[in-house]
Amino acid sequence: MFSGKTEELIRRLRRAEFAKQNVEIFKPSIDVRYSDEEVVSHNSTSIRSTPVPSSSNILLLVGEVDVVGIDEAQFFDDGIVDVCVQLANQGIRVICAGLDMDFAGRPFGPMPALFSVAEYVTKVHAVCMHCGELAQYSHRKSQSGDVVLLGEKDIYEPLCRTCYNKANIDETSDK
C-alpha cells in the first residue's frame, strides 16, 4: 500500500485517453473508501470507473475499447485471470493494479496468476514508515485476521522486510 499503484494506473489510462484510445476502468464494488464510482489514489487523483461485484461482470460491461484498466485486482475472484486473458486475446490492452501480498506477507488472491500471464509487470514500492528503505509489506496495525479489511493509514503502514519482521515479533511478544 501507499506505493503509487493506483496513481500509476490512472497515469497510464489518462495517457491512453490522450492518445484518443477508448478506455474503460473497473474496480471491485467492495472498494468504497474514497468513492463509489471513481478510482481514487491516496493523493486524491481520480478517474471515472465502473464498480463490479465479480470479474465476470467486466466481460458483460466492456464495450468497444482499446484499453481496460482494473484497480484493486487482488479483491477480485480467481476468474479475473481468465477475464484478462480473454480481453488480451481480443487485442485489448489490459492494465491491472493490485497488491501482490496480503497483510501477512502471503500472495494475495489472484495476483500470482495474473503475474504469470502478464506480458509486463511493474512492481512499485512504498517507503518504510520506520526506516525509510523501500517497503514491500503492508503491515496491519489492527488485530483483525480478516484477509480483506479495507483501510488506509489508520490501519496499514508500509514496511521494509526488516521492520515488518520486527513489528511482527514485537506484536507476538506483546500478547
Catalytically active residues are: 72
Q: Is residue 135 within 8 Å of 128, Cβ to Cβ?
A: yes
Q: Residues for the chain: how many in total?
A: 175
Residue 107 DSSP code: B
Residue 35 DSSP code: -
Cβ neighbours for 168, distance < 8 A, ≥ 6 positions apart = 139
- CA 151 to chain centroid: 13
- CA 20 to chain centroid: 25
